[in-house]
Amino acid sequence: MDHAASAPLRPAAARAMADAWAQGGNPSSLHGSGRAARALLEDARERLAACVGAHPTEVVFTSGGTEADNIAVLGGASSAWASGQGRDVVVTTAVEHPAVAEAAASLGERARIVGVDADGALDREAWRAALDGRAAVASAMWVNNETGVAWPVSELAEDAHVAGAWAASDGVQAFGHVPVNFAASGLDLLSLSAHKVGGPVGVGALIVRRGLEPGRVGFGGGQERRLRSGTVPVALAAGFAAAAEEAVRGLAREASGWARLRERIVSAVAGIEGASVNPAGDAGSPAICNVSFAGARADDLLLLLDAAGIDCSTGSACTAGVHRPSEVLLAMGRSEAEASASLRFSLGWTSTDADVDALLAALPDAVARARAAF
């Protein structure tokens, strides 16, 4: 029940990586083995591009979604600043993944943060107001990693373009879970991660619209469009492409199944006194369900469910082990107690009714025990 943290590896991805590892070679080398590795890499690039509605030259492989987000925010800002147009501000939101939030925060007063309402919807008036002549990059996540709330990124991108800014989005929890088409979105920069869709850990991509040149945030051989340096892990890229193809091919069927499983969880939660879903209405992603259990600590609940063989999360897996209220829920107006009493259940390609059966069987007792220990 924690696919949003990391989904199990798809067999097709494992096979693709095994074949690529058997090949060997550095894709930047000019000899035969290097050319063979380069062919595998470019094949993976073309396949991933087709899955996300992009041109192959727009795909920049990275070490994961975090690096992609960092390049989008900091690289976009530095490129705009270097243009001499006086654009030095990054506009983002109060519910971003730490990869975006902390990259923006590193800019100090050059970062503008736009709030959300109780349902996680972006304050569009404040968003537009923040997009003035100093705005270099505007970054808003496609699907929130804690609540599953989805935003109309094409509309937000249009707002950014009207102001003359680049439009970026963290699409890590969107790709493979809701329809994603880079070309149709109007975005300039889109971050992706392989292991959220059943690919390997350690590889992601930043989709960069042709004609744009973000500034470099790291230095080296410039292997990926002179934007991201380092020898590209061909096997991981091949695994990413294979997982992406399966995720996109089965999206309509899988999303329908996730929606049904999520509704089972929501219905069961309604029968637990003091439990509530964040947000109360349709979140947008069928794969994420965030629930607050009044009178309990999320950490206690997580450990009790873990003892019952059930994986879940208290929020972003990238802040695991940090005992503090969810910044996302606080931004949505929840109290510290509510934000400290919330669990995220997330679905993916292996999810079944049996998984939900196990959760629902263990949940009432876990909640009662957690409340007794509070």
Beta bridge partners of 284: 149
Using DSSP bridges, classify how beta strands 89-93 and 204-208 pair: parallel, antiparallel or unpaired: unpaired
Beta bridge partners of 143: 150
CB 127 within 8 A of CB 151: no
Distance CA 66, CA 295 (A): 34
Beta bridge partners of 214: none
Q: Number of helices (H) and strands (E), helices first, in the chain?
A: 14, 10
DSSP annotation of 369 reads: H
Tokens of 175: 């790709």
Distance CA 339, CA 333 (A): 9
CA terminus-to-terminus distance, the chain? 24
Torsion 37-39-42-44 (CA) sign: negative
Find, among 214, 234, 185, the residue nearest to 48 by Cα.
234
Distance CA 60, CA 182 (A): 14
CB 277 within 8 A of CB 334: no
Q: Is 51 a catalytic residue?
A: no
Helix, strand or coil, per DSSP, at residue 212: coil
Distance CA 85, CA 353 (A): 55
Among candidate residues 51, 289, 312, 318, the one labeled active-site is: 318
As to burial, measured by CB atoms within 10 angstroms (0-12 exposed, 13-18 middle, 19+ buried), residue 353 is: exposed
Residues known to be catalytic: 318
